Amino acid sequence: MPFSQRSIDFLFENRLHDSREWFNEHKEEYKELVTEPMSQLILDLTATMAKIDKQMICDPKRISRLYRDQRMHPDSVFRDHIWYSFGRAKTERFMPRPEFYFSIGAGGMSFGCGYYCARPAVMEAARRLILDGDECFKKAFLAFGKQKTFQLYGEMYKKDRFPDQPTELKNWLNRRSIGVSGDITDPELMFSDKLSAYVAKEFKKIAPLYEFYLKSEALATNI
């Protein structure tokens, strides 16, 4: 069963109620409309993700929780979205790792590849690879330039730290963290059984970025 407009509507309404009681009364709807289609998407993408990285974990049991962390958000019970991150196993629970992700929420669908709060050492390693003209980065740079689905994200430094570099490289070098993300807005795609094939195709296009992140991670670890 694919996602539907009801999936989006449920996440919006649940966030609007922001009530454990309301959610518990509609738990089966959440399962049917949100987690079951997400689980199927993950399973559909498993073969593609294994080709990108044999160590990639594709396990529907690891879908994000809809509940917020009450320690950080004492005034809100629920998020308005859930996501799944395709990446390698983490040695520590909150350790940043390069990952692909897919998210569905009250605002629609998004997906991409990158880091959530990359460690400074990893970013320094990435910058070193960029400045050295590393082949892995060149492939990532070309792959990003050839596609039209994803945009770079990541907080920029207020001051240009690389004034002598070309503009196209500054866009990578001057970020505290880096990744690519895109939105899926066509209802005919969002709510069809063609969604997983589309996501797989787009993930393959940016696989060289993931390889670049992995190399940066390895370089940072070995410094």
Write down the pTM of the prediction: 0.93
Q: How many other β-carbons are positioned within 10 Å of the β-carbon of residue 113?
A: 27
Token look-up 């990578």 returns 172
Q: Is the pLDDT of residue 80 over 60?
A: yes
CA 154/CA 176 separation, integer angstroms? 6
Q: Is the pLDDT of residue 33 over 90?
A: yes
- Check residue 6 and give its pLDDT: 97
SS3 string, 75-141, reads CCCECCEEEEEEECCCCCCCCCCCEEEEEEECCEEEEEEECCCCCHHHHHHHHHHHHCCCHHHHHHH
Nearest by Cα to 134 from 179, 142, 202: 142
Task: Tell me which amino acid residue 192 is.
Answer: S
Percent share of the chain, pLDDT over 90: 87
| Mean pLDDT, rounded, for 147-154 | 96
| Mean pLDDT, rounded, for 44-64 | 96
Q: Is 204 helix (H, G, I), strand (E, B) or coil?
A: helix
Token look-up 């997906």 returns 111
Q: Is the pLDDT of residue 223 over 60?
A: no
| Mean pLDDT, rounded, for 170-182 | 95
- Check residue 117 and give its pLDDT: 78
Nearest by Cα to 10 from 110, 65, 84, 80: 80
Q: What is the mean pLDDT of the chain?
A: 93
Task: Tell me which amino acid residue 27 is.
Answer: K
| Mean pLDDT, rounded, for 104-122 | 92
Bridge-partner residues for 87, per DSSP? 57
All domains of the chain in start order, with CATH: 5-222 (3.30.930.20)
Do residues 104 and 8 lie in contact, with contact meaning Cβ atoms separated by under 8 Å?
yes
Q: How many other β-carbons are positioned within 10 Å of the β-carbon of residue 6?
A: 14
Q: Is the pLDDT of residue 116 over 90?
A: no
Q: Is 63 helix (H, G, I), strand (E, B) or coil?
A: coil
Do residues 183 and 109 lie in contact, with contact meaning Cβ atoms separated by under 8 Å?
yes
